[in-house]
Amino acid sequence: MKRWRVRTATSPLRGEVSVPGDKSIGHRALIFAALAEGDCVVRGLSGGLDNLATADALREMGVAIEREGSTARVGGVGLRGLRIPPGQLDCGNSGTTMRLLAGLLVAQRFGTRLVGDASLSRRPMKRLIEPLRARGGLIAGTVRLESQDLYAPLSVAPLLEHEHLIGLEHEMGVASAQVKTALLLSGLYARGLTAIREPVLSRDHTERMLRALGVPLERLGPMVVLDPSEWRGGWDPFEWEVPGDPSSAAFFLAAAHLVPKSEITVKSVCVNPTRTGFFDVLRAMGSTAYLLPQGDAAGDEPLADVLVERSVSLVGTRTGGELVTRMIDEVPAFAAMAAGARGRTEIRDAEELRVKESDRIATMTLVLRAFGVACEELEDGLRIEGGARLKAAHVQSGGDHRIAMSAAVLALRAEGETIVDDVDCVDTSFPGFAATLRALGADIVEEHVAADVDSAPRSGVVGSAGGAS
Ligand code: S3P
């Protein structure tokens, strides 16, 4: 098991860094390449385990995928070319792998079973299963006595020769790009329209990519309509470059604002407007960070370098509504940054955080308190009193990559040496995180400890430095 030791930053962070390819776009690029009519190249993929889980699942279904560094050569098999996998498909920790593949698999003429790790097996699947069933998909989740929802493992039965999926009009209860994408993927095979309405527009990478591939798809605000009636039923091979992940960039921007006078540049980040809530809220807090446009990446995704020149101290803010949807994965980094801002920060309308890789409202509350931050856990968010002196802490990630990285950036501002336990999970999205933070001047050391050495505080997820809690 890996852990980090992080010391207070004694001088400003400085330098230029790159982040791994965007995880959401990586999953989609691999799936669309697998379904293309010929050989595709996807460059700039993150080496994270989540994208690898999608690649492995596609391989299990007969797609040839060769990886060399961040480039994947994918032998597309066409929309009807996937084959029955020899066993169950393991999605690991990746909710996106499971939900996206479920949408694809309900349309196939073979059956499959999707499994995940303990964290993924606790995440809600009813929101996915119900609309897929409504269009004729034969998909079942696992029932748990103590809950109203459905969970992984998911079992998908084959459609027979004379069976097919039908059109679907669906109003989503929560904005979810994973569910939206699953419905659009199943819609590629359906006889009839797929019309989806979200309460707020979630990330729209799937819509942009499908349109770039010539799929007849229209969008009107938070409503998307796919009409395959006149469509030829496939797309040509492509070469795509995945832009940098704004959710990974957020940790460096938070770090730059926690360590005064820092000067950093994060290169080639995806600045699709459905992903830029974190940059917007930064500005509302008084940051002088700015975006330097760098054109478009393939799949119609705008790119920019993000610059912070001599970071200034920020003031607390209140955020909620659609802004939170546009920064949902950045909330842990944002909460860490808010601890260093003057005054109160309140994050509302973020209840979805309770069903991510961990319950991020609860885990972030514990982490912040361990560093000495006064933080109130709200049903749908957090209330953080910023500006207090932070003390070093001994915290656990709770198996959640974004919690681990948020704790590391908080530690830069805290007095003393912080230990972050159980950081193996960071490999799901950002295997080189500690080295990248070190390149900016942070004192962070990664060490391996035997899994049976219980270095963690005995009670709860976190404790103050020294392990006493
Ligand atoms: C993702 C969508 C979001 C996000 C997740 C990736 C995607 O989840 O939190 O990390 O790639 O579609 P929801 O769809 O559950 O909102």
How does pLDDT run across 386-440, given as a tens digit for each residue? 999 999 999 999 999 999 999 999 999 999 999 999 999 999 999 999 999 999 9
CA separation for the pair 354, 352 (Å, rounded): 5
Amino acid 105: pLDDT? 98
Whether the per-residue pLDDT at 322 is higher than 60: the answer is yes
Helix (H) / strand (E) element for 33: namely helix 23-34
* Main-chain phi, psi angles of 118, to 5 degrees: -60, -40
* Dihedral angle sign, alpha carbons of residues 426, 42, 152, 382: positive
Q: Confirm if 408 and 4 have CB atoms less than 8 A apart.
A: yes
> Of the candidates 172, 234, 162, which has an alpha carbon nearest to the alpha carbon of residue 199?
172
Q: Give the residue numbers marked as catalytic.
A: 329
For residues 457-467, give the mean pLDDT: 43
- In CATH, what class is 2-12+279-288+312-448? alpha beta
Mean pLDDT of the chain: 95
pLDDT exceeds 50 at position 459: no
Q: Convert the pLDDT of each residue in 352-395 to its tens digit.
A: 999 999 999 999 999 999 999 999 999 999 999 999 999 999 99
Q: Are 427 and 49 in contact (CB under 8 A)?
A: yes
State yes or no: pLDDT of 461 exceeds 70.
Answer: no
Q: Would you say 351 and 328 are in contact if contact means Cβ atoms under 8 Å apart? A: no
Residue nearest to atom 15 of ligand 1 (CA): 176
Q: Write out the H or E segment, with its range, that includes residue 129.
A: helix 126-134
Report the Cα 210 to chain-centroid distance in Å: 20
For 180-215, letters b (16+ CB in 10 Å) and e give: bbbbbbbbbbbebebbbebebbbbbbbbbbbbbbeb
Q: Please name every residue paired with 269 in a beta bridge, in sequence order, or none if there are none.
A: 244, 304
**Residue ID of nearest Cα to ligand 1 atom 4:** 329
Task: Say what the pLDDT of residue 147 is.
Answer: 86
How far apart are the C-alpha atoms of 315 and 345, rounded to whole Å?
A: 8
pLDDT tens readout for residues 17-49: 999 999 999 999 999 999 999 999 999 999 999
Q: How many CB atoms lie within 10 A of CB 99?
A: 29
Q: What confidence tier does 453 reach under pLDDT thresholds 50, 70, 90?
A: low
- The band of 297, judged by pLDDT with boundaries at 50, 70 and 90, is confident
User: How far apart (Å, rounded) are the C-alpha atoms in residues 456 and 262?
Assistant: 32
d(CA 220, CA 169): 15
Atom of ligand 1 lying closest to residue 206 CA: 12
Pocket-testing residue among 202, 334, 356, 359, ligand 1, by greatest number of atoms within 8 A of Cβ: 202
Cis peptide before 153 (omega within 30 of 0): yes
Residue 468 in this model has a pLDDT that exceeds 50: no
CA 312 to ligand 1 centroid distance, Å:
31
| Residue nearest atom 9 in ligand 1 by C-alpha distance | 329
Cα(13) to ligand 1 centroid in Å equals 30
Distance 248 CA to ligand 1 centre (A): 14
Average pLDDT over residues 176-201: 98
pLDDT at 464 over 60: no
Could you tell me the CATH superfamily of domain 23-227? Answer: Enolpyruvate transferase domain (3.65.10.10)
Q: How far is CA 445 from the centre of its chain?
A: 25
Give the C-alpha distances (Å, rounded to integers) separating 255 from 224, 304, 406, 442: 37, 19, 9, 9
pLDDT of residue 454: 52
pLDDT digits (tens, 9 = 90+) for 198-250: 999 999 999 999 999 999 999 988 899 999 999 999 999 999 999 999 999 99
Band (274; pLDDT cuts 50, 70, 90): very high
| Window from 84-88, 298-302, 306-310, 464-468 with minimum mean pLDDT | 464-468
Residue 234's alpha-carbon distances to 61, 99, 158, 210, 348, in angstroms, are: 18, 22, 21, 11, 42
Give the residue-averaged pLDDT of 149-162: 97
Task: Give this prediction's pTM.
Answer: 0.96
pLDDT of 455 strictly over 70: no
Q: From the CB of 328, is ligand 1 less than 6 Å away?
A: yes
Residue 148 phi/psi, 5-degree rounding, is -90, -10
Phi and psi, residue 342, nearest 5°: -80, 130
- Cα(358)–Cα(115) distance, integer angstroms: 18
Query: Confidence class of residue 168 from pLDDT cuts 50, 70 and 90?
Result: very high
Give residue 74 CA to ligand 1 midpoint distance, Å: 24
Compute, in angstroms, the gap from residue 202 CA to the centroid of ligand 1.
Answer: 8
202 in ligand 1 pocket by Cβ < 6 Å? yes
Those residues with Cβ within 8 angstroms of residue 394's Cβ, 6 or more apart along the chain or in another chain = 370, 418, 419, 421, 455, 456, 457, 462, 463, 464, 465, 466, 467
**Mean pLDDT of the region 246-255:** 98
Nearest CA among 463, 371, 382 for reference residue 408: 371
Mean pLDDT of the 447-459 span: 64
Q: Is 51 in the pocket of ligand 1 (CB under 6 A)?
A: no
Q: Among residues of the chain, what percentage have pLDDT more than 70?
A: 96
Task: Establish whether residue 96 lines the binding site of ligand 1, counting it when its CB lies within 6 angstroms of any ligand atom.
Answer: yes
Numbered ranges of CATH 3.65.10.10 in the chain: 2-12+279-288+312-448, 23-227
Looking at residue 452, what is its pLDDT?
62
pLDDT tens, residue by residue, 45-104: 999 999 999 999 999 999 999 999 999 999 999 999 999 999 999 999 999 999 999 999
